Structure 1
Amino acid sequence: MSTDLLRYDRMVEAALRRVVRDALKEVQEHGLPGEHHFFISFRTQYPGVRMPEFLRAKYPDEITIVLQYQFYGLDVNDERVEVTLSFNGSHERLVVPMAAITTFADPSVNFALQFQPPDEEEGEDVVDEAAEEEEAAPEGEDDDTPKQGGTVVALDAFRKK
């Protein structure tokens, strides 16, 4: 069996993360239209995540934030999302690498995406190459070894009927 397989799982993951980025860029440029609002979950320990320590202590693995009524300074690019949110009456700036996002949902239109956590052995090179440089792969690991199995993403559940 050849080790030169096309990594469709990585291609699909990257394409779906671009959907998240494009939706957030649209909101950055034009604001939230209608009843749209976003629930975004991300790994708090992922390299490059910047958030207040009191939040990291309360949510050591994952946190879900909501972009709906009160968010400020949304700044989106290919690598990360930055936003200021209010926690207990205090405005706090969050920086979230795109690769740290585990779930993106817009309940107003019954749309949700769930992402596979980055493979610790392979590193996350789909979206956030800077984070990969921070996480050196263990010596002796073969980063190009494909994983067995596959992922099927059914989009029918998210389509309006």
Structure 2
Amino acid sequence: MTRSIDYGHLMHRHMRHLIHEVLDDVAAHGLPGKHHFFITFDTQHPDVEIADWLSDRYPGEMTIVLQHWFADLETSEEGFSITLNFGDNPEPLYIPWDAIRTFVDPSVEFGLRFELQGAAAQPTEPESPPPGKDKEGEDRPDAGNRAAAQVVSLDKFRK
């Protein structure tokens, strides 16, 4: 049997370590300048911890935004935890590093994508209405003034 170097696995491991370092810095010092992040992750990963209503709404993948309002950001060797605001409802999330599919900082046009193999590469997330709107685009009466966490498609940031 011949041995080979798995460059793809090595690259993904180091890219996830880079995300870990960035989030460590943000946890310690906050977001600098205009930096903000779009992080897409696999909601079906066995170690992801999110509210049932979120996993029901996003059965394949979900994108979170770290920008205006987030709390309790903590990192570990296995992943990170954070509390985000969804329609004025704080929700804790735990996301393992290997559940992350994309990490984008549009303020500096930086992004990482973790390629999936086979059927797992098929998108499963439905389009979502903007925060504060219902499915028909009408204002939701429960939408408060505080900026809500947003789930967005990264397609508009791709060139």
Equivalent residue runs for 1:119-134 within 5 Å: none
Structure 1 unaligned runs (5+)?
121-161
> TM-score, normalized by length of structure 1?
0.71
1:111 alignment partner in structure 2:
110
- Give the Cα–Cα distance (whole angstroms) in 1 for the partners of residues 80 and 118 of structure 2: 21
Structure 2 unaligned runs (5+)?
120-159
1:99 alignment partner in structure 2:
98
Q: Aligned with 1:47: secondary structure?
A: coil
- The answer to whether the 8 A contact 1:99-1:118 is kept is no
> TM-score, normalized by length of structure 2?
0.71
1:20–1:119 Cα change, 3 Å: farther
1:45 alignment partner in structure 2:
44
* Deviation digits for residues 59-107 of structure 1 (CA, Å, limit 9, x no counterpart): 0000000000100000012211100001121111000000000000000
Equivalent residue runs for 1:1-161 within 5 Å: 2-117=1-116
Partner amino acid, structure 1, of 2:9: R
- The answer to whether the 8 A contact 1:40-1:103 is kept is yes
Matched pairs, number? 119
**How far apart are 1:118 and its partner, in Å?**
7.0
- Give the Cα–Cα distance (whole angstroms) in 2 for the partners of residues 29 and 82 of structure 1: 14
Provide the aligned C-alpha RMSD in A. Answer: 1.6
The share of aligned pairs that are identical, in percent, is 41
Q: Aligned with 2:64: secondary structure?
A: strand
Q: Aligned with 1:14: secondary structure?
A: helix
